[in-house]
Structure formats: structure tokens, C-alpha cells
Amino acid sequence: MRVTIFGATGLLGKALMREWQGDELTGLGSRDVDIRSEEQVRASILHRPDWVILAAAYTDVDGCETNRELAFDVNCRGAVNVVRAAAEANARVIFLSTDYVFDGTKNRPYEIDDPLAPQSVYGQTKAAAEVEIRKILPEVCILRTSWVFGVGGKCFPETILTLANTRKELDVVNDQRGCPTYTIDLARIIIQLCRKGAHGTVHATNSGECTWFDFAREIVNSARLKTQVRPTTSDQFVRPAKRPAYSVLSPASLQRYALVVPTWQDALQRYLAERGSLSG
């Protein structure tokens, strides 16, 4: 199987490149191809891959609020360019989307057919991309995930660990609930979905749910740090982009492919071990 990964130098892309074995991989970062350019995208898949993984995106959620045009150029129009080129090459596609396509007003896990109601520019770009790429390639696999963390880049655990090394106390919001997702586990899911010929919409996260406060406390405790983590509310940390208060994604769609994912607590332990091995 020939696989082309757009976004291969990002947090998830790096994990995909490390985890994927036994197939012919082509990894493309932003320096290799600008997905906003139809010509560059077409030229990058002249080898006619069997699968295209679209993990390239402008993921700075707050930055998207002040760079709306750039966000839509990359996350929507760029996605359209990739999917159109993939369709012309008869390639299958997995497109990485987000829990931010939902408004966060539910109190039970979001299903794949729940209505889209993004509250941020980032969520709007991803929701618009979902709609447009389905028109081009109806059998596309749209993979929504959330709270992604992993080694090799900026993520929530890295931020908490850095702050905890210099502060005795940390205030973390306790009124936003979601599902942390480890890049290694997400990469393994993507590999299996390709091999199972996945299509349609799939929600993929580590199992379990928590608030950012719960997550931060587990990070600090697992790292055996003395920092006190204290719960606070979102109105104490006003940010440019509105975050969904509740964005837990239902695992039902993933279970249909007979895929079982470890808990986020288990994933965190493996992340800390991986991070420690790299720093050591």
C-alpha cells in the first residue's frame, strides 16, 4: 500500500511516520508542499498513492480568530485542493477534523451525525472543509479527534510540565470537558482504519473523559511534581477563541471497526515515558 501523509512534520504526522510499518510512505511537511497551491498538491501525488492522510492544518485556535482568511485558506481551501487531487488520482482519503465543529452544549458524548455548530473560526474552517470535501469525494473518511498531545511539539502536557517546574501553584479550568488523545494511539487508529478501508465519519480519541483541571492534576501527580493544581473557571482565562464547554466524542463509530483504544490515563503514562526517554 502506498500512503502519502500531508502534515508529516506536525505532532500527529511525526507519530504516523514513526508508527507506520510495512507500507510505502511519503511524508510531506509545509516546506515540501503548500496545500494552498493546487499545482503543488497535484505534483506531490503524481505517484498515485492508495491513501492520502490529510493531517496538515493551521491548528493555532486563537491565532485563527485574528487570521481568519489564512485559517480558511489552509484548513478549508487547502483541504479541498488535497481531496480533489486525491480523487483525480483515485486515492482514498482520511481527513483530520476536530471536536471544535460542535458547540459544546450537550451533556452526553457527541455522535458522528450530531449537527455541526462551531463556535470558533478554527471550528468553522474544519466544519466547512467537511462539507466541501464530501462533495468531491463522498467516500472520504472524516476523522474527528480532540485534545491531541504527544512528544515533539507544543501540547497541553508539555505546557503543564514546563509551568510546574517553575511554579508552586497552577490554576487550570475545570469547566471544559473532553477526551485527551495521544498521538501514538491516534496514529495506530489511522493505520488500522486505512487497512480496514474506512469511510464516512469516525470519532477517535483515547477512552475516558476529563476536564483540563483533571488532566493537569494527573500530569503533575504522574510526574511526581509538588506543584499544587487548583480548579478555576473559563471566565478567569478569557481567550480569543471560544472553547466548547463539553466536547466528549462518542466511541461508537470507532467500535464499529472493532478498534479498542487505551484510556487517556494509560496514554499519559506512555507519553511521560516517551518524553523522559527522549530528554534522557
Catalytic residues: 122
What's the rounded Cα separation, in Å, for the pair 99 and 122?
11
Strand partners, 182: 149
Closest CA to 44 of 96, 97, 86: 86
- Determine the Cα angle at 65 with ends 64 and 69, to 5°: 60
* Contact yes or no for 155/180 (Cβ under 8 A): no
- 3-class SS at 50? coil
* Contact yes or no for 120/78 (Cβ under 8 A): no
What's the rounded Cα separation, in Å, for the pair 223 and 19?
25
H/E stretch holding 56:
none
Q: How far is CA 85 from the centre of its chain?
A: 22
| Number of Cβ atoms within 10 Å of the Cβ of 168 | 8
Strand partners, 229: 170
